[in-house]
Structure 1
Amino acid sequence: MDLNETAVFVKVVQAGSFTAAGRQLGLPTSTISTRVARLERRLGVTLLQRTTRRLSLTELGELYYRHAATGLGHMLEAEAALTASLGEPRGRLRVTAPADFGDAILVCLLERLHKAYPEIHVDLLLTDSYLDLVAEGVDVAIRAGELRDSTLIAKRVGIACWALFASPTYLDAAPPLASPRGLRRHRCLQFTSLGKGHWTLSNRKDSLTVPMEGNLIVNDLGVIRLMTLHGQGIGLLPTYICREDLQAGRLVRVLPNWQARADPVHLVYPRQRFVPPKLRVFMETASLELGGLLGEG
């Protein structure tokens, strides 16, 4: 099936002649005539009655024209809608991120995106599960740590560094702390994902593994942060979720020359030939926002 032949036939009927249709389509009259004749041969019917003065539709030609014109109209509307969508970032964008990635960092990102592109509507799914983006219909994921799926397109936006934090209230009442080995004399608030038996810390020269008593182990990073803020111990936390508390004096970085793991953070999305505008501008916005908050270590 050649839809060009159908489109030419519809234009001939609308224009009233082969010559007028050729003028509007920028084609020779002979080409217009040939395409209509080819369409009639393929369908096995006569669509147009030709005289020296005018064209008229046959009964079957009228039936074919009515359906063909409607179908082509829908196709043009679809193309116009697609063109409009390509021109202005809009539509629903499904985004997933780790559940413990941090409320503040995501709020800042989504606020910045909404201000710049109000026609983009975000569905945010927070989960620690490693979702199959294609199967789940997810447009883009924020992922920390080493990537598992090599079929995805990935863009690195920073590093999530884990460091020791405590409140001034806790430090005022706690024993002095000069090295990681001294942590055994402190109440350490342990996040399950970092291990139950020990913390491994490093500086530019050394790496030390400190056994933990395990007197408080929590699987929620937000709870660890709140308990640290309330003076209940030393928390091993990502630096990006402590930035505001650090600036406001609510938290102090303990043993500032030491840190735990450093997880690369990537934006990942399924491989595709054409990146839609809504995804492109999200990648640009997220790269700026996350890169500014995370840094490179």
Structure 2
Amino acid sequence: MDLYGSMSVFVQIVEKGNLTAAASASGMSPTMVGNHLHALEKRLGTSLVNRTTRRQSLTDFGRVYYERCLEILRLVAEVDAHALANHIVPRGRLRVTAPVSFGAEGLMPVLGDYTARYPEVELDITLCDRTVDLIEEGVEAAIRIGSLPDSGLIARPLMPYRMMICASPDYIAKHGEPHRPADLAGHRCVAFRYSAESAWRMIGEEGTSRVRVSGMIQVNNGQAIRVAALNGLGVVMQPEVLLAEDVTAGRLIRLLPNYELPSRPMQIVYLRDHYMSPKLRSFIDFIADRFGV
């Protein structure tokens, strides 16, 4: 028989005073109550209850076992209650990773709304541009940009990661404004180091244009490229989320606005898990609501 169930019946026998009353309280027959008691005594190899035709009393071991049963049943009830609460209320530490530019400029500004809605979730955010191994590094969710390999992860699509070409008003005043993609070949461009050898691609009425840009500065960080543009060091192509506020404020000028720039797919990914925690589910739903397609 189920040990936990038999312990529960034994406690009822002790507290109700006899098998008949314990059966009534437990919603089972006196025979079944007796079977639970016999199963416990057989398992333990000793008697728990002294039974006569007129009364019953606990053996010395029965008294000790009763106290231990009370403690075990209390602990099980507490664990069950804690598990139930965790299935209802998002709580605990949630480890998330995101690319640097999107994380700093897109993700961080909205997290105040998330923490206000779910105050018992502690967010541990890592911003990096490398691909993090969720299992190896104990990360529960990652925002990723670009096409995903077949990794076995679950992915929810987010809005495309759009790009923008900009320069500062001071730079434009000194060097003029490019009106066609080919004009960029004569401008100083601040390129992202890891794509410096690649051409900038744009789509317009004349079709797709690929312009190999050049300049004196290559940088491996999007925020640094933004600062370079703000200080008039050249033309930049960077994510819209990184430059849009500067364009609105007039600190940067959007160039070639009639040309479509390449966008990259963006998604939030997480491990396949039948029992998804409320904290992870709440975060995924929040991100999909804020940045979904």
Q: TM-score, normalised by structure 1?
A: 0.90
Q: What is aligned with 2:284?
A: 283
Moved more, 85-94 or 16-25: 16-25
Q: 1:244 to 1:213 in 2, by over 3 A?
A: closer
Q: Does 1:46 align with 2:69?
A: no
Question: 1:105 touches 1:290 (CA, 8 Å); kept in 2?
Answer: no
For residues 186-201 of structure 1, the aligned pairs below 5 Å read 186-201=187-202
Instruction: Assess if the C-alpha contact under 8 Å between 1:144 and 1:265 holds in 2.
Output: yes
Q: Is this contact kept in 1: 2:187–2:214, CA < 8 A?
A: no
> 1:153 Cα deviation (Å)?
1.2
Superposed, 1:174-213 pairs within 5 Å as 174-203=175-204, 206-213=207-214
Cα shift at 1:206: 2.2
Query: Contact between 1:162 and 1:259, CA under 8 Å: does it hold in 2?
Result: no
Give the drift of 1:36.
1.5
Aligned to 2:125: 124
| CA distance in 2 between partners of 1:237 and 1:196 (Å) | 16
Once the two structures are TM-superposed, the CA of residue 278 in structure 1 deviates from its matched residue by 0.9
In structure 1, what is the equivalent of residue 171 of structure 2?
Answer: 170
Letter in 2 for 1:163: M
| Map of 2:250 onto structure 1 | 249
Q: Percent of counterpart pairs with the same letter?
A: 36
Give the deviation of 1:266 after TM superposition.
0.8
Contact 1:112 1:285 in 2 (8 A): no
Give 1:197 shift. 4.6
2:76 is matched by which residue type in structure 1?
Answer: M
- Counterpart Cα distance in 2 of 1:280 and 1:240: 25
Following superposition, the deviation at residue 215 of structure 1 comes to 1.8
SS at structure 1 position matched to 2:10: helix
Larger mean Cα displacement after TM superposition, 33-42 or 215-224: 33-42
Letter paired with 1:212:
V
Letter in 2 for 1:287: A
Q: Cα offset for 1:93?
A: 0.7
Counterpart-to-counterpart distance in 1, 2:206 and 2:237: 20
- Alignment RMSD: 2.1
Map of 2:237 onto structure 1 = 236
Pick closer, same or farther for the CA change 1:47–1:224 going to 2, 3 Å: same
Counterpart for residue 262 of structure 1: 263
Q: Does 1:83 find its partner at 2:84?
A: yes
Q: Extract unaligned runs of 5+ from structure 1.
A: none
280-289 vs 21-30, greater mean Cα deviation: 21-30
Q: 1:77 to 1:172 in 2, by over 3 A?
A: same
Q: Deviations over 1:81-131 (max 9, x none)?
A: 111122211111111111232413122221111111111110111122222
Give the letter for the 1:109 counterpart: V
Cα deviation, residue 257, structure 1: 2.7
Q: Distance in 2 between matches of 1:145 and 1:99?
A: 14
Gaps of 5+ in 2: none
TM-score (norm 2): 0.91
Matched, 1:71 2:77: no
Counterpart CA distance in 1 for 2:73 and 2:191 is 64
Question: Is the 1:175–1:185 contact (alpha carbons within 8 Å) kept by the matching residues of 2?
Answer: no
Q: Which range moved further: 160-169 or 56-65?
A: 56-65
Q: Distance in 2 between matches of 1:31 and 1:4?
A: 11
- Could you report, residue by residue, the CA deviation over 1:205-237 in whole angstroms, capped at 9, with x for unpaired residues? 622221222421100100001111222211101
